[in-house]
Structure 1
Amino acid sequence: MQSWDLGICRDTVKRKGRVTMSPQNGFWAIRLYDGEYWALTSPETPLTLRERPLNVGIFLDYEAGELSFCNMTDGSRIFTFPKNTFNGVLRPLFRLWSSGSGPLSIVDVEEKRLM
């Protein structure tokens, strides 16, 4: 069964040991676990998707403090984090929970306005 985390994090986040992934700790991500989708907010926010995404788009406007995740399969918005003030370096974040999660491909997408 597929299980993964996908998003961005501050360059300075703790990477070893037990870490709670939330914006307060420098993580902005969504999760698929046990067939259910979650936004890693505090507390976690359950997500309802119309269609299972085969591709997920992450759209970051650093200056505006906006981060959205979109289902590139059907063009729908998965989740938008509340407006933030980002500072410092941000890094991509992806984690496959098991070998059964399948392949992960990172693709370059032309800038498109979905909404």
Structure 2
Amino acid sequence: MDYITAMIYGWDIRDQDFGGMYCAVLTENSSVVSAAILRVLGCEVAELPLVATSRESQGKGYFQSLFSCIEGMLASLNVKHLVLPAADEAESIWTKRFGFSKMPVDEWFP
């Protein structure tokens, strides 16, 4: 099953509900250089489960620009919290470059 396609189109498959999913892309000269899958779960929280920047575009600040636009959009919708599931090896990027903090495990599912 292609979960990324299901996420992009907001399809429901099996026991997975991908409603409320949005895909944000940043293009340069008609080519996608960075993309993010975003899920808005009402005014309380949004989730950023998947981000990617093309290999040749990495390190040029493209995702930082896309992320800034995402933050602005969420602020205009009055979304209070943005969470993301980060792999251990990517944690320092999110905490040092984007200002995220690691959530204690006991706060994951209130």
TM-score between both structures, scaled by the size of structure 2: 0.28
Which structure shows the higher strand fraction? 1
TM-score between both structures, scaled by the size of structure 1: 0.27
Which structure shows the higher helix fraction? 2
* Structure index of larger Rg: 2
